[in-house]
Structure 1
């Protein structure tokens, strides 16, 4: 096989974006035009609790979705019950969207209350 010379490719240089945001590493000094933001104030335990609260809310939503599906498959579904579970599922979704890792009291409430409800519902399935 014969050697073929590579075709020279043009090297385009693109202009820098006018609103470029510089990366500031720990210990570097900030320029006068940069804003210093406070570091997040949560711990590893806060993150774990937050994630478990998210999982519990998702589990509560999943139970409602399952109940809605089962009820709709019945010959004479109870539409009021479906509407109630749909509203509950929507409320859980809103709670999930508004969940904040720094809201320790709310996360503790979710883990306590929804955890107990999840255990109760899981026991009913056995």
Structure 2
């Protein structure tokens, strides 16, 4: 049940971030596609992103996590490539802004919907 709530909250964060940013920068076709985009971003981050973070670990330590953020931005762009016009991010810089906005919205949503019985 918690997984479904997390997926819906991630979709909401993606949808709200797309609403906040200009349409020329980030666009999503609707809330359903925002949920799909959130799932794909999570999936590619968990698979390809993890592999890239493993190989860039020493560099990530030297840059204090900047490489990990860059990998996340690249995973957003990869999702945009996979989804075509349903979820579109204009370029690397807008993907970076989008990733920051989604992270901030997710922090806010997590604090609002945090359950006392959370593991």
Q: Give TM-score scaled by structure 1 length.
A: 0.26
Hey, which of these two has a bigger chunk of helix by percent? 2
Hey, which of these two has a bigger chunk of strand by percent? 2
- Which protein shows a greater Rg? 1
Q: Give TM-score scaled by structure 2 length.
A: 0.27
